[in-house]
Structure 1
Amino acid sequence: MIKIKDEAADAAYALGWSAVKRMPEPMARRMFTAIADRTWRKRGTGVLQLEKNIGRVLGRPADSPAVREVSREAVRSYMRYWMESFRLPVMPRERIRAGMNVTGDQAIYDAIGKGRGVVVALPHMGNYDHAGAWLGTQGYPITTVAERLKPESLYNRFTAYRESLGFEILPLTGGASSFGIMARRLREPKVICLVADRDLSETGVDVEFFGRTARMPGGPAALAIQTGAALLPVTLWFEGDGWGARVHEEVPQPSEGTRKEKTRAMTQALADAFAEGIAAHPADWHMMQKIWVEDLS
């Protein structure tokens, strides 16, 4: 039987997609900012973990005023992500394109032009759904994976929403091998986008991240090794009413070592690029879960 809280969550998201996208944008922004501030003041588990994570980024205690200030902006940034996600299906394509300030994206086009697939790896920053939609407007529709949510109806809503943006969505679990399908897409060649700063498989790669050991998924590196695709880290942030993105330099595949050693080295390079982008825009990193090993254990 579906739990009542699962039914409530599905109903809440359904209301969001149906109602928020019809609101005037200034009204929606004010409402989601108010929700963010209320969430921040309640200091629930997610906010406390966020402050612990941001404290490590800033090198400050989690309860310091500096961390608290950034955490409040981070919760607002996260709520902005949701507000924009609810509105993205009706956002004019011209605004999606014109509002995006991107550097380094020529690397994507160059790789595809040479017949290589591209693995775009991102942290939970800014609005990654908008970034995927923006890439689609450039003529490069993406394939990605989605964690199965409960209830199934909620997962189906997320899938339908992202498919409406032009994404191909593969289930993380419970379906055909997503790795095999992504490998085929890369050989076509196409673009794969993966959020890669939190391991959901419990078989991730340990990396150094802001001076501590964190665990991140090895899938992006493994796909690049398997197919010869370009592995490109991308970091995202908000710029006023628009969006910023940086496509970092391609992560090279080591010429020597076992597959496991190559995966570890390339995942560490991803972590280094993520750290650089997060340090520059800490309030746009929405990590409210545990990623450092000392927290996981």
Structure 2
Amino acid sequence: MLDRLLILTARYARWVPETLLRGFFLLAADVSWLLHVGGVRQLEANLAHVVGPVGRKQLRHISRRGMRSYFTYFSEALTVGARTTEQLKARIRPAGTGYPEPAKTMIESRSVPIGMGHQGNWDYAGFWAGRAVGPVTTVAERLSNEELLETFAQIRRDLGINIILTGEHGITERLADTLASPEQVVPLLADRDLSRNGVFVRAFDSWIRVAAGPAVIALDSHLPLYTVNMYRERLTGDRRHQAGTPLGYICSIDGPIDTDAFQGLPRDQAVQELSQAWVDQWSRGIREHPEDWHMLQPIFIDDLDLSRMHAVPEHISAEVELRRGKARGNRS
């Protein structure tokens, strides 16, 4: 039922007033938050790792903002086809320590690999990058509902983003080939990969398993690696009028991380250390704007069943078991 509603919303976006749809999604976010459904509980568990030992009231305040940010993303993504180019341009602006470095990289006819997480509105980021930096190619997760999958994929194609779906043959090689061409942008949502191909990195007060993709394609392409954080800002004046909405986004670009320093290492070590480097850079943005991190799934190893995970290093397992033992002792 929900999937069908999302598909119909996207299909008839031009006939749905944006303010009405945004209000509906915000109401749904508040109801979910008040009922403390599973996704909200997991979001709060994730946020607790990020913000540290804050009071329950403050954590609930952040999680409410997080749910409203998450649901607003869906209202924006489903109706992006109804927005004009001028509106979209006004809704996002670049910033960060790495900007305008990517543009300089493009002047040198080199391409830009990017590691990023589930934050803000990555469709808007792809739209901006495709016009300000270069053609964008990325990977989208394959969904069980093929019609919903095609709906979201087509939304991104209409924004000018080239979409590769998970499960397709030779994804890493295709991305490396793309980066071998001049003036290409390859951003990858990589903050969660629990498969045996994921890479363990330290994040906040724990460990997470991220996708190897950003590190692999940067190493194979001998290109510097960037990270992107996205978070909201309140719009004012002419920009708010042009955007047609009170809130926009900052696309914060950080880097570059020089991959030459990792090239002489054994392959697995190079991928792990470069992954750690981009996560260290990216996580600083999450700390500053945790409410715009849309991670409603388990990600921290402390919250996962280690017996169901593949190839967990012994030192990580031992560290987690030690913390769990201390927690049980404190409760007894």
* Same fold? TM cut 0.5: yes
2:302 counterpart letter in structure 1 = E
Larger Rg: 2
213-222 vs 102-111, which moves further = 102-111
Match of residue 218 from structure 2:
224
| Alignment counterpart, residue 166 of structure 1, candidates 148, 156, 160 | 160
Q: Residue 148 in 1 paired to residue 142 in 2?
A: yes
Distance of 1:9 and 1:187 partners within structure 2:
41
Match of residue 84 from structure 2:
92
SS at match of 2:123: helix
Q: CA deviation at 1:172?
A: 1.0
Indicate if the aligned counterparts of 1:21 and 1:86 stay in contact, CA closer than 8 A. Answer: no
Distance of 1:93 and 1:200 partners within structure 2:
37
266-275 vs 75-84, which moves further = 266-275
Match of residue 9 from structure 2:
16
Q: Residue 239 in 1 paired to residue 233 in 2?
A: yes
1:89-168 equivalences under 5 Å are: 89-103=81-95, 104-138=98-132, 140-168=134-162
Q: CA deviation at 1:9?
A: 4.2
Distance of 1:21 and 1:203 partners within structure 2:
41
Distance of 1:296 and 1:270 partners within structure 2:
23
TM-score scaled by length of structure 2: 0.82
Closer/same/farther in 2, CA of residues 200 and 96 from structure 1, 3 Å limit: farther
SS at match of 1:159: helix
1:38 counterpart letter in structure 2 = V
Distance of 1:23 and 1:31 partners within structure 2:
11
1:245 counterpart letter in structure 2 = C
Distance of 2:289 and 2:175 partners within structure 1:
30
Q: Residue 180 in 1 paired to residue 186 in 2?
A: no
Indicate if the aligned counterparts of 1:116 and 1:228 stay in contact, CA closer than 8 A. Answer: no
Gapped regions of structure 1 (runs ≥ 5)? 1-7
Match of residue 56 from structure 1:
49
1:1-50 CA-to-partner distances (Å, cap 9, x unmatched) read xxxxxxx3441221120344432222222111101101111212211110
Number of aligned residues: 288
| Alignment counterpart, residue 25 of structure 2, candidates 32, 40, 45 | 32
Match of residue 282 from structure 1:
290
1:268-279 equivalences under 5 Å are: 268-279=276-287
Match of residue 201 from structure 1:
195
Q: Which runs of 4+ in 1 moved over 3 A?
A: none
Gapped regions of structure 2 (runs ≥ 5)? 235-246, 306-332
Distance of 2:147 and 2:19 partners within structure 1:
30
Indicate if the aligned counterparts of 1:20 and 1:28 stay in contact, CA closer than 8 A. Answer: no
Indicate if the aligned counterparts of 2:42 and 2:297 stay in contact, CA closer than 8 A. Answer: yes
SS at match of 1:248: strand
SS at match of 2:257: coil
Indicate if the aligned counterparts of 1:111 and 1:230 stay in contact, CA closer than 8 A. Answer: no
Distance of 2:185 and 2:10 partners within structure 1:
27
1:237 counterpart letter in structure 2 = Y
Match of residue 259 from structure 1:
267
Match of residue 211 from structure 1:
205
1:42 counterpart letter in structure 2 = L
Q: CA deviation at 1:93?
A: 1.1
Closer/same/farther in 2, CA of residues 237 and 113 from structure 1, 3 Å limit: same
Indicate if the aligned counterparts of 2:113 and 2:187 stay in contact, CA closer than 8 A. Answer: yes
1:47-103 CA-to-partner distances (Å, cap 9, x unmatched) read 111000011111026x81111100000000001101110121121112222232211
Indicate if the aligned counterparts of 2:129 and 2:185 stay in contact, CA closer than 8 A. Answer: no
